[in-house]
Structure 1
Amino acid sequence: MSKTTQEEVMFSRLRFRLGCDRRVSRQRDGCKTLPPRSPGASFVDPHRKFVLIAGPILLTGICFVLTLGSVKDSRSAAPRQISVDVVSPLQNDERSRLRQACENVAQDIQVQLDRSNTVLIRPPFVLAGDMPEDVLDRLHRDVVQPTERALNVGFFDVTPTEPITIVAFAKEAGFRDFARRVDRRQPDSYYGYYLRSHRRLVVNVSTGAGTLAHELTHALAHFDFPNMPEWFDEGLASVFEQSEFSDTSHRLTGTDNWRVHQVLRALHDNRLRKTDELVQGRSVRANHESIDYAHARYVCLYLQDQQLLEPFYRKLRSRAEIDPSGWLTLREVVASETVSDIDADFRRWVVKYHKTQRQRTARNDRQTLSMKPIESTDSRAEAIATNKPNGKAAK
């Protein structure tokens, strides 16, 4: 067989396998053969041969590498589920609108959490955190619900019409990471905070249920008395960080806690300002936060001890426009003749109250809320509570 005949046989076999060579133009009616190549021309040049052989292998490898990341992510943790405790269909009413708003908030908060975290919808609350669903649900049932009920009985008449988000962490690391990454806060010296602009409270619940009660008071008061003076807002919230439920769980009473030592120390060092200065100042002093917040808590307990805290709250709420600081209302409810009488009586009371509380035996059959003290960066303070323009923090 001649050399020309051998090449023609080879070309025929390749055309059979490939359909048509690179000089074939595909049209709708089939393959149109172009003029034949000159004898001796190579059918497949080296570059095309390399592409035909190596191309599919290279593409397969690239696809494999690109899918590695998604496979790893899908196996690292199962997708989070949002737990909803209601199954009734949505209606065109306030309750359904609130529930729908809670579902929207839950979707938003879900993307800001770790994949292993839990999200629950319990209108008006959206709860999220680094704990199993049953633990988070128990936190809602045993702390959030009874605290909300007791505060509504004693103080609040307006119920939430928008979602309140509770982000609770059982571990300090998770709390700090969320605060810094999502809310751009530096939570090195406090346990929780409430962001008014987002109606979101973030707490480290390993410090005690009292931390949650403190921040929850801020969130609920925001609906009922949004223009509450700062000293009273912080004082009232601090009351319930250490508190005791009544036998029926319908009342919540504040009790003595570690903040008293700040008040007593300031009294001893002559650093406690007069009560009228605390109240009429409306806000705390930046360089005396720990003392002023402790002072505010014990002024509220002073009223509570005389069964005047709830009447003071309601009366001040009704006349906040004419008494924005609450000082006139305070003088009226305690029926004091002079400014000095209130301050002197408070100072005598706080010393006596602390002694009485130290001798008091707590009842084991009652549910209590507590928040442990934290070391502050201020060496003089055991704990501090700060109020930022967009949020409040329990320390």
Structure 2
Amino acid sequence: MELKTLEEIDIQLAPTSKINEVDFDNLTFGTTFTDHMLVCDFADGEWKKPVIQPYAPMTIDPSAKVFHYGQAIFEGMKAYKDANDAVWLFRPDQNYERFNKSAVRMAMPEVPEEVFLGGLKRLLEIEKDWVKKGLGNSLYIRPFMIATGPGVIAAPAKFYRFMIILSPAKAYYSGEVKVLIAEHYSRAANGGIGAAKAAGNYAAQFYPTQLANEQGFQQVIWTDDATHTKLEEAGTMNVFIRINDTLYTAPTSERILDGVTRKSVIELAKRENIAVEERSVLVTELVEAAKNDSLKEIFGAGTAAVINPIAGFSYKGDYFELPKLADSIAVEIKTKLTNIQNKLAEDTFGWTVKI
């Protein structure tokens, strides 16, 4: 695909840049932001002209419905710079489509493509120096929308704000990740908003994850809400399980996010003749595989982390360490995927889009 340039936009450039104050070798994920942000308001039933302006705090009414009824959605994307200083996006059409699916589910207005993708292109053209070259470097992109309409009546707002902010990034997680399999808490339920990237989904994860942290685990593998017998997602990532030489991942549903990295892993695995099955994996099946040594790998897949191997898991007080493999599928697929994203390998899928 080719991104169209958005012409109807106001641009207010920052008088100075803070880029020289940033230590790009020592970044904490999601805490450093670029000089500019995109803002576009929805009012009177239509989207107004978007603005690119200096990154800064904003004023909002205390009764704005985002604070009281949680109308807030977001996406996570990345930009990469190749050896020739060109900036690339990875499957941005997928993020755009999912964003609007989330908007519909949360009774929010859909964002036009020219605002989301065209506005992002203009913003990245301005902030291209913040995208650093080299494997492991990227510019994390956070498009989001909140309900700004005032009033505490329990009904959808009439005013919204769509924004894009940018943050230079390195690795999301560092060190080994050990996980606790959920026995009581769930990430989402049938009929709920698990398939939407709604802010409330993530807030609801914090407390059970905090409990897992207190036991020495970095993340939780969520199980289904009805029976807690099926493995669903790992922390904020889709989860893959390798038993013998087959990869398994839960099918997307009302409860499970249709991850862009998830679907890319599946397509890459199939290209490399790695067996992949999209089906529910039972907790008992995982435990049995760990006991008979047929469980080879577990890894999470998501935009921020790309692919994050899991070192071990705990269930009902029993801890199972995963083997250290020389032929790790997680490592192989991550290498191939990041090489495509960084234009170090041919993109035979047509996933990368030049800014």
TM over 0.5: no
Q: Which has the larger radius of gyration?
A: 1
Q: Which has the higher strand share?
A: 2
Q: Quick one: higher RCO (CA 8 Å, sep 6+), 1 or 2?
A: 2
Q: Which has the higher helix share?
A: 1
TM-score, normalisation: structure 2: 0.30
TM-score, normalisation: structure 1: 0.27
